[in-house]
Structure formats: structure tokens, C-alpha cells
């Protein structure tokens, strides 16, 4: 989805963060970056483009610096399990949303935002100084949680209310819809002139994600450069293979998908999280909500429904927390005295548990 994003005064923080997380990074025209910062004349005040700091948080997301090797920059996202290359003229940011309504397959989990260096830094400088203006355009990969593995890519494309494929009001999208591949997996591509400027789109799916990639403005004199830069990203995308965690003392192995972090083991308890290990929220209730634990247990914590996973009998149950809000899920494997627990409906953990094997 692409639309012009205006911001004024102190409202910039909320409005633009929301736009970027939804995969929106808009610009008037794509221009080559200057070799040196230039002052911006904004209402009589001169603003110097922001100097970006690796790991710094900006309205565009968390900035990640990359060195130029063989003519391109490279980036790997642990959160989304992808790596890619991009033009040296661009800067890259990653956004992530944690602890949201993950039972809905159209939930936006975050995005990777790649924009031209100088326009992005100028935009950040205006935002930090409280001045209005347009956020610049760029290449955006938006990640939607794939909570229902039975939903096909085309079904998701045509039904996702947070997407922008709408042939009823944008016939060009339907007419240009064709098949392709990204990183060896099936994909769909289309072009849209609907909105503020023409844009190329590619959608694909892997693991726990539906991904929508958008090119930014392909119109005007800079349109060809935009397409080439977009293709550089698409051609370079590689998808992480799921890792396997093995615990010999507890006698099991389990798949660890991209976006799930191993937190450690202690006193017979193994912990994983959807938050990075260095995330300060680990010490709060948010950390608990995003955790999955595996431990020894002699009985199930409560009565549940008997099922089977990979030939192993399992008791699945859930209860609501003391305050009636959060739902606590338990998977008890009685033949192995093993208990797995997590909070709230998290399809990524359901899929993870479905891979468990016992020695």
C-alpha cells in the first residue's frame, strides 16, 4: 500500500511510525544522494540532515549500518529469517511489532525499510526538529504473520485487508498479476498505478510469513533506477533454514524457526522467546507473554484434550490468567514427562511444537 504521508509538529512520531510499520515509505521523486550533507531551509530555520547511528531508533525504524562489499550492501534479519543485498546509495531500517493479535493471519509483524540515504536523513532531521514534510519513498518488505498454514499465497493476497491488491478499484493489478519465484519459492508480482505513484509489488511466503515487497515510485525520470534497485534486492533474497534445538538431558529435539530466540537452560527448564535476548522488555510482563518454556513435569497442569504429535500422545489444555485476560497454553507429553507452555495464541509456537521429536 502506498500513499502520501504528511506530518506536522509533535504528531510526527505516532503517524509516521504507523505508516512505516504498515510498509509505507513514500517520496516525491527518487534523487541520487549528495556527497555531503546540505542544510534544509525550513520556515527560516536551517536543518542539517541527521547523522545515523548504528542501532539508533528513528521514525523509520532501527538503523542498521552495512559495509559495501563487491558493490553492494548486505543485511541479515534474525527476526524475519532473511538476508538480502541493496544498493550502496541506500540506508536500511528494521521495524518489529511484538505481542500483537497474532491469531489473525493479516497481522503486520514488521518491515524492512530501505530508502535513499540523503532523502531519508533529511526527513528524519525535519521530524526530529518538529517540522512538516513528506516521508521519502523506498523499497519496503512488509512481513505478515502466517497463522494459518492452509491459506495459499493467492488467497492471502486477495483477502488481506491490510494489503493493497484490490482489482475492483485497481484493474491494472489484476491485469499484471503473474507468477515468479523469490529465493526459490513461488511468488506473485503485479504493478499498480493506483495511489500517489506507480509501484511494482512482489508477494511470497515462507515459514511463518507472508511477505509483500514494494518498489517505491517507478514513475518519472528515476523510475528505471528504482526498478533496478528493487530487482537487486529481490534477486539477492535468501531464506534462512529452520534450526533444530536438541536437549539430550531431556531427550528431545525441536525446530527453532526464524524469529524465535533461544534464551537458555537452567535447572531443567529451557526457554525461548519472540524477543531478542538483549531486549529490555525481557524483565517485564511483556517478556513472559512472549516466552515459551519446556520443563519436566509428572502431571498435566489441568485437564485437557488428548491429541497426537508425531506419533506421541499429548494433552493440550488452556486456562485464563488470574486477571481473566491472557490465555495460558500447555502441551503435556505423559510418556516423556515433558511440559511445554506459552501465553496467548501464537501460531509460530504451535508450528514449533509440531516439530518435536523424542529420542
- Residue-range domains of the chain with CATH: 6-239 (3.40.1000.10), 243-358 (3.40.1000.10)
pLDDT of residue 32 exceeding 90, the answer is no
Residue of 228 and 7 predicted with greater confidence: 228
State residue 25's pLDDT score. Answer: 40
Q: How confident is the model at residue 16 (pLDDT cuts 50, 70, 90)?
A: very low
State residue 213's pLDDT score. Answer: 97
Q: How far apart are CA 249 and CA 271, in angstroms?
A: 15
State residue 30's pLDDT score. Answer: 31
pLDDT of residue 105 exceeding 70, the answer is no
- Looking at the DSSP assignment, which residues form a beta bridge with residue 153? none
Contact call for residues 20 and 14 (beta carbons, < 8 A): no
Average pLDDT over residues 93-100: 74
State residue 86's pLDDT score. Answer: 98
What 3-state DSSP class applies to 103?
coil
pLDDT of residue 303 exceeding 50, the answer is yes
Contact call for residues 327 and 344 (beta carbons, < 8 A): yes
Q: How far apart are CA 192 and CA 205, in angstroms?
A: 20
Strand locations in 117-268, DSSP E? 133-134, 138-145, 178-182, 185-192, 199-206, 209-214, 238-239, 243-247, 252-256, 261-266
pLDDT of residue 46 exceeding 70, the answer is yes
Residue of 100 and 205 predicted with greater confidence: 205
Helix, strand, coil % over all residues of the chain, rounded to 5: 20, 40, 45
Contacts 24+ apart (CB under 8 A), 223-229: 223/30, 223/198, 225/30, 226/30, 227/200, 229/86, 229/87, 229/89, 229/90, 229/139
pLDDT of residue 99 exceeding 50, the answer is no
Average pLDDT over residues 187-195: 91
The DSSP annotation for 115-142 comes to EEHHHHHHHHHHHHHT--EEPPPEEEEE
| 231-274: pLDDT as tens digits | 999 999 999 887 899 999 999 999 988 778 899 998 889 999 98
Contact call for residues 272 and 263 (beta carbons, < 8 A): yes
Least confident of 46-55, 62-71, 320-329: 320-329
Q: How far apart are CA 355 and CA 269, in angstroms?
A: 19
What percentage of the chain has pLDDT greater than the value 90?
51
Q: How confident is the model at residue 21 (pLDDT cuts 50, 70, 90)?
A: very low
pLDDT of residue 220 exceeding 50, the answer is yes
The DSSP annotation for 49-67 comes to PPPP-TT-EETTEEEE---
Average pLDDT over residues 189-211: 90
Sign of the alpha-carbon dihedral angle for 164, 275, 128, 31: negative
State residue 100's pLDDT score. Answer: 46
Name the residue among 236, 219, 276, 175 with its Cα closest to residue 2: 219
Contact call for residues 130 and 120 (beta carbons, < 8 A): no
User: What is each CA distance from 154 to 140, 157, 174, 236, in whole angstroms?
Assistant: 20, 5, 12, 23
Least confident of 1-5, 244-248, 277-281: 1-5
Average pLDDT over residues 80-95: 95
Q: How far apart are CA 261 and CA 300, in angstroms?
A: 26
The backbone torsions φ and ψ at residue 84, rounded to the nearest 5 degrees and listed phi first, read -160, 165
Contact call for residues 139 and 213 (beta carbons, < 8 A): yes
| 110-135: pLDDT as tens digits | 999 999 999 999 999 988 888 766 77
pLDDT of residue 19 exceeding 90, the answer is no
State residue 185's pLDDT score. Answer: 93
Contact call for residues 148 and 141 (beta carbons, < 8 A): no
HSE-CB of 143 using CA atoms within 13 angstroms: 23
State residue 151's pLDDT score. Answer: 87
Q: How confident is the model at residue 45 (pLDDT cuts 50, 70, 90)?
A: low
Contact call for residues 93 and 121 (beta carbons, < 8 A): no
pTM for the model stands at 0.68
Q: How far apart are CA 121 and CA 40, in angstroms?
A: 11
Name the residue among 268, 275, 216 with its Cα closest to residue 247: 268
Mean per-residue pLDDT of the chain: 82
State residue 241's pLDDT score. Answer: 81
Contact call for residues 332 and 231 (beta carbons, < 8 A): no
Q: How confident is the model at residue 78 (pLDDT cuts 50, 70, 90)?
A: confident
Q: How far apart are CA 19 and CA 11, in angstroms?
A: 13
State residue 320's pLDDT score. Answer: 85
Amino acid at each position: 500500500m502506498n500513499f502520501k504521508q504528511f506530518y506536522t509538529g509533535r504528531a510526527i512520531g505516532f503517524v509516521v511510525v504507523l505508516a512505516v510499520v504498515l510498509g509505507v515509505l513514500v517520496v516525491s521523486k527518487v534523487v541520487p544522494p549528495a556527497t555531503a550533507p546540505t542544510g534544509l531551509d525550513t520556515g527560516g530555520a536551517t536543518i542539517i540532515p541527521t547523522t545515523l547511528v548504528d542501532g539508533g531508533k528513528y521514525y523509520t525504524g532501527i538503523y542498521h549500518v552495512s559495509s559495501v562489499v563487491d558493490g553492494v550492501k548486505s543485511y541479515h534479519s534474525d527476526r524475519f529469517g532473511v538476508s538480502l543485498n541493496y544498493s550502496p546509495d541506500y540506508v536500511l531500517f528494521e521495524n518489529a511489532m511484538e505481542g500483537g493479535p497474532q491469531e489473525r493471519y493479516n497481522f503486520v509483524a514488521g518491515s524492512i525499510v530501505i530508502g535513499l540515504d540523503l532523502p531519508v536523513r533529511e526527513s528524519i532531521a525535519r521530524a526530529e526538529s518538529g517540522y512538516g514534510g513528506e516521508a521519502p519513498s523506498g523499497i519496503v518488505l512488509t512481513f505478515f504473520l502466517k497463522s494459518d498454514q492452509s491459506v495459499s499465497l493467492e488467497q492471502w493476497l486477495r483477502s488481506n485487508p491490510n494489503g493493497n491488491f484490490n482489482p475492483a478499484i485497481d484493474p491494472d493489478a489484476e491485469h499484471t498479476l503473474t507468477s515468479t519465484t523469490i529465493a526459490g519459492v513461488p511468488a506473485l508480482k503485479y504493478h499498480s498505478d493506483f495511489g500517489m505513484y506507480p509501484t511494482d509489488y512482489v508477494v511470497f511466503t515462507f515459514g511463518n510469513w507472508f511477505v509483500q515487497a514494494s518498489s517505491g515510485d517507478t514513475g518519472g525520470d528515476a523510475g528505471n533506477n528504482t526498478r533496478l534497485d528493487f530487482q537487486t534486492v529481490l534477486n539477492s533474497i535468501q531464506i534462512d533454514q529452520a534450526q533444530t534445538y536438541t536437549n539430550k538431558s531431556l531427550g528431545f529435539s525441536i525446530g527453532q524457526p526464524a524469529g524465535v530466540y533461544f534464551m537458555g537452560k537452567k535447572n531443567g527448564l529451557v526457554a525461548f522467546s519472540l524477543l531478542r535476548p538483549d531486549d529490555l522488555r525481557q524483565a517485564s510482563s511483556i517478556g513472559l507473554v512472549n516466552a515459551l518454556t519446556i520443563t519436566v513435569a509428572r502431571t498435566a497442569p489441568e485437564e485437557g484434550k488428548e491429541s497426537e504429535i508425531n506419533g506421541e500422545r499429548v494433552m493440550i489444555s488452556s486456562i485464563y490468567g488470574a486477571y481473566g485476560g491472557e490465555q495460558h497454553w500447555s502441551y503435556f507429553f505423559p510418556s516423556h514427562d515433558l511440559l511445554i507452555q506459552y501465553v496467548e495464541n501464537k501460531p509460530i509456537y504451535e508450528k514449533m511444537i509440531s516439530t518435536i521429536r523424542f529420542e
